[in-house]
Structure 1
Amino acid sequence: MKKSILLGALALSIATTAAAQVKPEDQIKFRQAGYSFMSWNMGKIKANVEGEFNAQQVEAAANAIAAIAASGMGALYGPGTEKDIGNVKTRVKPEFFQNMEDVGKLATDFNAAAANLAKVAASGDKAAVQQAFGETGATCKACHDKYRMD
């Protein structure tokens, strides 16, 4: 467990170095775009598990979520992104930047759940997808509950 937290924190620190080349307001915009795209894909999966199940749509959506989760979004939480910048608003709580070990664990959990969702979606098993979808959603909620303003 400590190894996964360490890897998550390391990924965030490496990603943060790469963010130095992107203006803080652009980091906020890019991370919001990534989360919006993941949300749209989560919605597609939800519609499929609650209605007529299209395994190809679910697999494509799950792969998109997993790809974004593994893309190094931690780089988009660089210095200056903890507050609004002009008309670019953020809902991240300041506590996010003060609890990087916890954030690293949450990010690691989310990445693992998203990768598992993609793996399970490839099987086409609706019940298994429902379970993995719930687990992925729970990892989203865990971070939102702690570190996102309403």
Structure 2
Amino acid sequence: MRILMVTDAWRPQVNGVVHTLARLTEALKPFDVELDFLTPNLFRTLPMPTYPDIRLALTTPGHVARRIDAAKADHIHIVTEGPLGIMARRYCRKASRPFTTSYHTRFPEYLSARLPVPESWAYNWLRDFHNSGQGTLVAT
């Protein structure tokens, strides 16, 4: 089985998402699962405002769609809700491609601590994002 993991968090970042993906890659080796990654490293990037260690991909939905098609994956898993995750979700929904998502970060709290955005707005958006897939994995 070939799984495409779409993530806005990737090396050289050091955070829980990257650590989880590294451990998952190792854990799946004995099960004949091939992981492919669509990451910001494949695109030009710019630093995320208020958190410059995170690099946001500068690309277009069409470019992301072509990369997803080229991966020829049996399954698509959207790891993060950043620019790549948003574009991958958009493509999957438009193309009727099934996908799953992951919830790793308390993004609403992070956002409201830095911007005048109510946590409830961010949680509503996250619910919509994750409920559109076939299932959501949550780190515990």
Do the two structures share a fold, i.e. TM-score over 0.5? no
Tell me the TM-score normalised to structure 1 length. 0.27
Larger strand percent:
2
Q: Larger Rg: 1 or 2?
A: 1
Higher helix share: 1
